[in-house]
Structure 1
Amino acid sequence: MSGDFDAIPVVDISDLRAADPMSRRAVASEMGRAAREVGFLYVRGHGVDEALFTDVLAAARAFFDQPLDVKMASYIGGSVNHSGYVPEGEEVFPGGAIDRKEAYDLNLDLPEGAGSAPMLGPNLWPEDSAFRAAASAYYAAVAELARRLFRGFALALDLPEDHFEAHRQAPPSQLRMIHYPFDPAAEDREGIGAHTDYEFFTILRGTAPGLEVLNGRGAWIDAPPIPGCYVINIGDMLEAWTNGAFTATTHRVRKVAEERYSFPFFATCDYETVVEPDPRLVPAGQTPRYPRLVSGEHLFAQTARTFAYLKARQARGELVLAEGQSSFGRPAAVR
């Protein structure tokens, strides 16, 4: 569980690109402290060009401003790699209410036939070349930031700096472009209910307050945007890989007081990566705290529990999920 924190630490990660290994380790130590004690941190000095975010935000605004029938032409249910438009009501956590949001989901854009797993393949794109160009450029920049953060987290765990790179040849990391509409007369509903993220970690940029993080006392702590910073939070798979040394902290998006856009990038490893506690992080004589799972199978199984089109495919017998892919982060009741 996360600790007794009242604020989320800010870490300057500029020196993750330093030639001096001691400088890189110093930054990694700060990252590791936040990952252990809070499960969240802000990072500055990340190297992502601000113009790329400006462009992807403009592309998102233009897309979501269109009529619903135009957006539904890119409905995620018509994709081969779980990409496309997600209308309000499509995504519901088990036992939860309908989230007050719409989204456009994008994955690593692979050529036709390049991958046979459910999350791999060509993205479903709208007929808007500016949208595709802006989203592709932003995805590439944040994916590079994810690579550096993986190296930093490896150092924070006293593992080789390139520890995760063998597992990241074509990872199905997902970029979500999320729109939280504001209607003061609408029902009082959360933007996203309480949950932890499935992947290794999330890189988030948002345009307005709304994100809240649950501390060890059960209090919700605000995580508003900080100019020039990204929010990073630990996901289920990295918590499991570290045998619980890093914490996947529960968070939510409260009812927004203004229109809000959010761009989470869910950084993960290759589909076939085996996720289980690293033996070096399990104390001698103790049993690992987490079961052995396959990264992509677990990710897709959890995704299929929340998306209406995937649940419909299961009900028709068109989709059979791998067995044993239960949530190993927070219990399903609070996801």
Structure 2
Amino acid sequence: MGESGVPTIDLQEFPGQYEKLRRACEEWGCFRLVNHNISLALMADMKRVVRSLLDLPFDVKKRNLDVISGSGYMAPSQVNPLYEALGLYDMGSSQAVETFCSQLDASSYQREVIEMYAKAIHGVAKDVARKLAESLGLSGDFFESWVCQFRINKYNFTPETIGSSGVQIHTDSGFLTILQDDKNVGGLEVMNPSGVYVAVDPVPGTLLINLGDIAKAWSNGRFRNVQHRVQCKEATIRISIASFLLASDEEVEAPPELVDSEHPRLYVPFTYEDYRKLRLTTKLQAGEALELKRIKS
């Protein structure tokens, strides 16, 4: 464990890590992933490509159009004035990757790096999701058709913004998030099991996994949807790469194996798109919207 206490999961140590993985998901809702087989060279190349894309002129970045709301270019806003991002809705689709690269006039080298990284991260997302199901005693591929979204983030921190929030407190709406954080600049904080925000300092070469609202609903409340935020710690540019395993077009509901007399079904079935719109319209971004899907006893 790091000094914040966030658990570390070693992908090369399975099946010996299942119990530790389940506890991490139940107690923390996040963990640090090591030995994930994405090379340090590819992670470094991707960080350079991401930085160059986020430095493009505004007129180019705004060509990155939404597929669903929030999946394209996000300019600094009144709510998050220090933050901007570019997005790719379905990184598992070669056509979607091609469209993303074309929108931003990516060079052949940039395209090659993005394609390699998208394929590698998509594989990690599906592998980790399967292991989460297996940690609950489930078998079968529940996540084969689930979309994996990609977002590259830039925080424009200045001397005047030190101590302020780069991104407000929130949970992620999807199933799980894979974060390649900025190895040089901290600022990410997660709520620990005691309800206290703790800093999650970057660890080069690792990935951070956060569980979102869909994971809590799908696991019938067993997994925790971790609240987190980004704080401005120093006057510099902070770059991070986030990949979100969302859900399929079908309704999300807990598998029958996770429902019994001791664990009655907690949430009504709902689609990810329905839930995403609910979070937007209610402006409930820190997991509270999920309570609106809870079955009333």
TM-score, scaled to structure 2: 0.83
After superposition, the Cα gap between the structure-2 partners of 1:245 and 1:135, relative to the gap in structure 1 and judged at 3 Å, is same
| Residue aligning to 1:59 | 49
| Residue aligning to 1:148 | 127
Instruction: Give 1:54 shift.
Output: 1.3
Q: Choose which of 5, 8, 11 in structure 2 pairs with 1:10.
A: 8
How far apart, in 2, do the equivalents of 1:256 and 1:136 lie? 32
What stretches of structure 2 of length at least 5 have no aligned partner? none
Superposed CA RMSD in Å reads 3.0
Instruction: Give 1:265 shift.
Output: 0.7
| Residue aligning to 2:242 | 264
Aligned residues: 281
Q: List per-residue Cα deviations over 1:207-260 (Å, max 9, x = no partner).
A: 121110112433211111112211111111111111111101111111241321
Q: Choose which of 161, 173, 183 in structure 2 pairs with 1:198.
A: 173
| Residue aligning to 1:43 | 33
Instruction: Give 1:287 shift.
Output: 3.4
After superposition, the Cα gap between the structure-2 partners of 1:219 and 1:46, relative to the gap in structure 1 and judged at 3 Å, is same
Task: State the secondary structure of the residue aligned to 1:243.
Answer: coil
Q: What pairs up with 1:52-201 in 2 under 5 angstroms?
A: 52-72=42-62, 74-76=63-65, 83-89=71-77, 97-108=79-90, 110=93, 122-123=99-100, 125-129=103-107, 130-160=109-139, 162-164=140-142, 167-169=143-145, 171-186=146-161, 189-201=164-176
After superposition, the Cα gap between the structure-2 partners of 1:121 and 1:61, relative to the gap in structure 1 and judged at 3 Å, is closer
After superposition, the Cα gap between the structure-2 partners of 1:62 and 1:304, relative to the gap in structure 1 and judged at 3 Å, is farther
Q: Choose which of 217, 229, 234 in structure 1 pairs with 2:211.
A: 234
Task: Give 2:289's aligned amino acid.
Answer: S
The answer on whether the counterparts of 1:210 and 1:254 sit within 8 Å (CA) in structure 2 is yes
How far apart, in 1, do the equivalents of 2:56 and 2:94 lie? 28
| Residue aligning to 1:223 | 200
The answer on whether the counterparts of 1:271 and 1:297 sit within 8 Å (CA) in structure 2 is no
How far apart, in 2, do the equivalents of 1:226 and 1:36 lie? 23
Task: Give 1:134's aligned amino acid.
Answer: V
How far apart, in 1, do the equivalents of 2:291 and 2:230 lie? 19
Task: State the secondary structure of the residue aligned to 1:191.
Answer: strand
| 4+ residue segments displaced more than 6 Å | none
The answer on whether the counterparts of 2:42 and 2:117 sit within 8 Å (CA) in structure 1 is yes
The answer on whether the counterparts of 1:10 and 1:44 sit within 8 Å (CA) in structure 2 is yes
Task: State the secondary structure of the residue aligned to 2:152.
Answer: strand
Matched, 1:251 2:240: no
How far apart, in 2, do the equivalents of 1:137 and 1:47 lie? 13
Instruction: Give 1:191 shift.
Output: 1.1
Task: Give 1:249's aligned amino acid.
Answer: V
Matched, 1:328 2:252: no
The answer on whether the counterparts of 2:187 and 2:230 sit within 8 Å (CA) in structure 1 is yes
Instruction: Give 1:163 shift.
Output: 3.6
How far apart, in 1, do the equivalents of 2:209 and 2:88 lie? 19
How far apart, in 2, do the equivalents of 1:88 and 1:268 lie? 24
TM-score, scaled to structure 1: 0.74
After superposition, the Cα gap between the structure-2 partners of 1:44 and 1:303, relative to the gap in structure 1 and judged at 3 Å, is farther
Task: State the secondary structure of the residue aligned to 1:238.
Answer: helix
Task: Give identity over the alignment, percent.
Answer: 27
The answer on whether the counterparts of 1:88 and 1:102 sit within 8 Å (CA) in structure 2 is yes
